[in-house]
Chain A
Amino acid sequence: MRVEGKGLINRGHPVSFTFDGMRYEGYEGDTLASALLANDVRLVARSFKYHRPRGILTAGSEEPNALVTVGRGARQEPNVRATVQEIYHGLEARSQNRWPNLTWDALQVNDLAAPFFGAGFYYKTFMWPKAFWEKVYEPAIRRAAGLGALSGENNADSYEKAYAFCDLLVIGAGPTGLMAALVAGRAGADVILADEDASLGGRLLAETHEVDGMPGAEWVREVLEELGEMPNVRLMPRTTVTGAHDGGTFGALERVAHHTIGRAGTPLECFWRIVAKRSILAAGALERPVAFRNNDRPGIMTAGAVRAYLNRWGVSPGKMVTVFTNNDSGHRTARDLLDAGVHVAALIDSRHDAPDCAGVRVLKGAQVCDSGGRLGLESITIRSVSGEDKLQTDCLAMSGGWNPTVHMTCHMGGRPVWNQDLEAFVPAEGAIPGMRAAGACNGVFSTAGCLRAGAEAAAEALDALGVAGGAVELPAAEDDPYRIAPLWAVPGKGRAWLDFQNDVTVKDVKQAAVENFRSVEHMKRYTTQGMATDQGKNSNVAALAILADVTGRAIPETGTTTFRPPYVPVSIAAMGAGSQGKGFAPQRFTTSHKASVERGAPMIEAGLWYRPSYFPVSGETTWRQSCDREVNMVRESVGVCDVSTLGKIDIQGKDAAEFLDFVYTNTFSTLKVGRCRYGLMLREDGFVMDDGTTARLSETHYVMTTTTAAAGEVMRHLEFVHQGLRPDLDVNFISVTEQWAQFAVAGPKSRELLDELLDEPLSEGDWPFMACGAVEVAGVKGRLFRISFSGEHAYELAVPARYGDSLFRLLMARAEEKGGGPYGMEALNVLRIEKGFITHAEIHGRTTAFDVGLEKMVSGKKDCIGKTMSERPGLFGDDREQLVGLKPVGPVKQLAAGAHLFNEKEEAVRVNDQGYVTSVAFSPTLGHMLGMGFLKNGRARHGETIRMVDHLRGLETYCEVIDPVAFDPEGGRVRG
């Protein structure tokens, strides 16, 4: 119910929303949790495993129970914590894990069967038959137990990721964080202050403490105003710092638009990578529940949450509240409720020496040992020296003490330290380089202590940053001591809940210990305690304490589980923001892209590049028709193909020749200016890395061509060889792939075509095979290479990329006049297979120069990368699988890449494997399919019949082993 005169909500702005289809009203500033409590909705969820009725336990991101689904359709967002979700006009929230509805959930029968469902139940029960686990048991269990569901549709929201840099990152904007930011900000440091709440202020918004003689919330407002005016301070509300990583990098999730309905254009979330020279962790502390029988009924909440709902949101979660505590902070809840006029039935303090509390009956040395009620709390049972008593109450505020939020200090392997006075873990010092934990997360629980700690941490950070800080005047605030006597679980029968999210009870933890899962990591996995969205924020320490107790060890000896990032759940969509759809990888388009698409060419991806498959003409209905026509066109007249995607590296310097001799197996220092040479490049381990043609433009200037696929790798390799192995060589290189648009003009009429186009016709005799040089097209300076990947008389013509589109259209038009035209990747592939030219299908990283028949290219006269190891035993000889050609000879005429080769009479099993097929194509020139592949001792087996078996496609073809060069083996056409 709403309490008049309390809260920081805007009562002038009512907001309506729905929960499970019912319409409710709240106010601007409400979370879904506070608005539901204001409307007396206590039952909001069903538990994970037993489908027990659950309500709201906390008032923060650690909430284990109140998970809801927000929105519909593609925008549906499951597992949203009602304690974090701000309400807005039109918000639609639904409960989860129940059928048909919350108040009558069919699967609550699970709860009746609970005695069978303890820790390890699944492992012990669903053991056989073995095949049933995947098909029957697991799907059934998954349906019954679970959280909310995804829509199954494409995510309609947009997400962002971003980088930020600062001198000082302050994590948390409670009294500690605000004070730290204020001190550092005033000194002029570049500060980022991030807090997961929509309103900065932390507990100061949830308590009635005064700071500097004014209400805490008022002091917060003044500080934020001052910080807001500082250009060097960046405030990041709704931003949860999720992880501390290497080198002062932090992950942070900003909820940009979860609090609005109008999401058009606005990203839903932004995942930040914040780089900070120093950081202050001011993450506060989380309150622990107490385990007792039936402590999970809606209406039983943490005492700090009850104060937060009262003081910040003007809501009392009950009409008659009872407080159960083992420390002083619970008394505050009673006092605040009384001051607000809410009836407090009793204050039960487990400590015999508990202080009194004016206006309420304090039961000292007493404990709550059970609760009653159907779908919400109606009564509790109190056990004291005088016996057990039942008390009518509709809200129990419990406090088992506070756990400093040490999580971030553990992200780089740090282990928190047990503090006996606080009965809690505190951060290990120096666990994150450059980070200082301060305030409540460091075990300082008074407001004055936090303000002081914030100022001190800031001063220390400023000192480290070399920024002069001024004198700091600390505002006055309460400095009450924190007194606690441990109470983890109230003894007794029945189920006392530790981990609300995973339905783990005290009994489960004890059972784990009995079954010898005594290590905390084993206990956690056996019981599932500490898993799922809250990651044990509410239960880890209590579960540990109980494990310590059953195993007869002290808590520090028992250890802690490891806190890993992220601190709160982060959607994959936010982490991968920008990388969906077109953002996944850059798209590289050639200058001929547009013209190719206009011709109806289907584009295929080649690495990041897009290249045309084939250029269909009217009447053609299959790709093979187009491909065959294009092959014939190149063999008979002239074809044009964009080859700009091949890597081109400009190599200059007086030692350029020596450098090339070192990276290539063959010799380039002997290459004449104005000539090209095919080169083979090995990795240092002796296997082939790449191949391509390199042209010598002057004594000290070469242009190397790489394959499309390996362009980046080769560049990196050249840089490594130069910088790492031969820095003495005076040579520089730079990629010129993008500078030039380069087109293959191939076929018997290629020269005729070029002569029409070039400003000066090619003079007879000056342009033999493998010549290169400067030419001009319409006054544009270009380069011409007489090289061929088709086996035909061919050239590659390069012009600056700005003219690429224009030149390609011109080449196409002129080629078509001669009965030719453009050709795509399919035809290019057929042409090279007919000629036995290798690509990365053959030089796939496991083949040597010997394997591909190019061992003679490894010069004996000089050292080169990979030479020594290429000569080691095993990398050459009859046992190697050697490149061969394949031609079908039996009734089946089909070949398939990836198929394996077997001897004619042998069974097609792995031990009999003789090799494999790498490339296949139908050769329109020869009228049958052709394959390339590797066959054991293959070069000596030309003429043999071999069996190709493709187990995947169910294909078996008899082939003749032939020379890889199936067409024009003498090479007359290329030279003609």
Chain B
Amino acid sequence: MVELVAKSAGDGLLPVTIGKLSLTEEVPTALTSLMPFKGGAAALEAALGAGLPGPGESGAAAGGRVLWFGQNQYMLVGGAAEGLGDAAAVTDQSDAWVVVRLEGEGCEDVLARLVPLDLRPQVFAEGRTARTELMHMMSSVTRVGPQAFMIMVFRSMAATLVHDLKTAMQGVTARR
């Protein structure tokens, strides 16, 4: 009888704590990409039991959190993806991304070294999300708390993500 052992995308890389900043891996129960077919948005919303977030927004849905994830694309983080199939292209992305949480005083300064995004709280408040470039990587950045961000890049780049974040965390901490 064979057995397969699961490994998370950030296996062996995290957690990291530098000064007041911490970086931890979050392993969502599922990541599901939802791309409504033409005219399917309303049906998808009904199936989700929630409205689809506008560009740059996120919200609770289907027992998880749904992020706006690009043009005509949403990412259900956690939650139940069953029964959503007809109105949208539903694609399992649970293993495609490494999801990390950057938390602590100065986390905005850390991200300011990596992403060309305006992260000021009045612009990028809790719940705001963006697809952007993190150093040289496609990424998703969401503010999940006053001093906390959820960051996603493709799974294969987990080591680079951690390297880049660590370097920025060290730079920010050394200046305090």
Which stretch of B57-65, B76-84, B113-121 is in the interface? B113-121
Q: Which residues of B contact A658 (CB under 8 A)?
A: none
Most buried by A among B9, B164, B174: B174
Question: Are B37 and A730 in contact (CB-based, < 8 A)?
Answer: yes
Question: Are B157 and A265 in contact (CB-based, < 8 A)?
Answer: no
A448-484 Cβ-contact flags toward B at 8 Å (1 or 0): 0000000000000000000000000000000000000
Which stretch of A316-324, A433-441, A798-806 is in the interface? A798-806
Interface residues in B123-176 by Cβ distance below 8 A to A read 123, 135-137, 154-160, 163-164, 167-168, 170-171, 173-175
Q: How far is the CA of A773 from the CA of B6 in the complex (A)?
A: 22
Question: Are A734 and B136 in contact (CB-based, < 8 A)?
Answer: no
- Knowing A267-B174, A578-B135, A587-B157 are in contact, say whether A802-B37 is a contact too (CB < 8 A): no
Q: Which residues of B contact A160 (CB under 8 A)?
A: 113, 168, 171
Q: Which residues of A contact B174 (CB under 8 A)?
A: 264-267
Question: Are B159 and A587 in contact (CB-based, < 8 A)?
Answer: yes
Point out the residue from B72, B116, B136, B170 that lies within 8 Å of A163, measured CB to CB: B116
Q: How far is the CA of A609 from the CA of B155 in the complex (A)?
A: 12
- Residue ID in chain B nearest A161 by CB atoms: B113
**B117 CB to nearest A CB, Å:** 7
Interface residues on B, range: 35 or more
Question: Are A732 and B157 in contact (CB-based, < 8 A)?
Answer: no
Q: Which residues of B contact A256 (CB under 8 A)?
A: 175
Q: How far is the CA of A820 from the CA of B101 in the complex (A)?
A: 42
A757 within 8 A of B: yes
Which stretch of A379-387, A405-413, A526-534, A649-657 is in the interface? A649-657
- Knowing A266-B175, A732-B35, A734-B35 are in contact, say whether A586-B136 is a contact too (CB < 8 A): yes
Which stretch of A7-15, A193-201, A490-498, A588-596 is in the interface? A588-596
**B122 CB to nearest A CB, Å:** 8
Q: Which residues of B contact A800 (CB under 8 A)?
A: 92, 94-95
A158 within 8 A of B: yes
A589-630 Cβ-contact flags toward B at 8 Å (1 or 0): 111000000000000000001000000000000000000000
Q: Which residues of B contact A740 (CB under 8 A)?
A: 95
Question: Number of A-B pairs whose CB atoms are under 8 Å?
Answer: 145
- Knowing A583-B135, A734-B33, A734-B89 are in contact, say whether A190-B4 is a contact too (CB < 8 A): no
Q: How far is the CA of A800 from the CA of B159 in the complex (A)?
A: 19
Interface residues in A736-754 by Cβ distance below 8 A to B read 736-741
**A202 CB to nearest B CB, Å:** 25
A307 within 8 A of B: no
- Knowing A802-B7, A810-B4 are in contact, say whether A738-B154 is a contact too (CB < 8 A): yes
- Knowing A582-B163, A739-B96 are in contact, say whether A165-B113 is a contact too (CB < 8 A): no
A807 within 8 A of B: yes
**B27 CB to nearest A CB, Å:** 9
- Knowing A266-B175, A609-B156, A734-B73 are in contact, say whether A803-B115 is a contact too (CB < 8 A): no
- Residue ID in chain B nearest A719 by CB atoms: B71
A273 within 8 A of B: yes
What would 11 more interface pairs be, CB under 8 Å, given A587-B160, A732-B37?
A266-B174, A587-B157, A588-B156, A736-B91, A739-B91, A739-B92, A778-B3, A800-B92, A801-B155, A804-B7, A806-B7
Give the top 7 A-B pairs by smallest Cβ distance, nearest first: A652-B89, A265-B174, A801-B95, A732-B35, A588-B156, A738-B96, A732-B89
Query: Measuring CB to CB, which residues of chain A are less than 8 angstroms from any residue of chain B?
Result: 158, 160-165, 190, 256, 264-267, 270, 273, 275, 578, 582-583, 585-591, 609, 650, 652-654, 730, 732-741, 757, 777-778, 780, 799-807, 810
- 20 A-B pairs with CB atoms under 8 Å apart are A158-B171, A162-B112, A163-B115, A165-B123, A190-B122, A264-B174, A578-B164, A583-B164, A587-B159, A588-B157, A589-B159, A650-B91, A652-B91, A730-B37, A734-B89, A736-B93, A739-B95, A741-B95, A800-B92, A802-B95
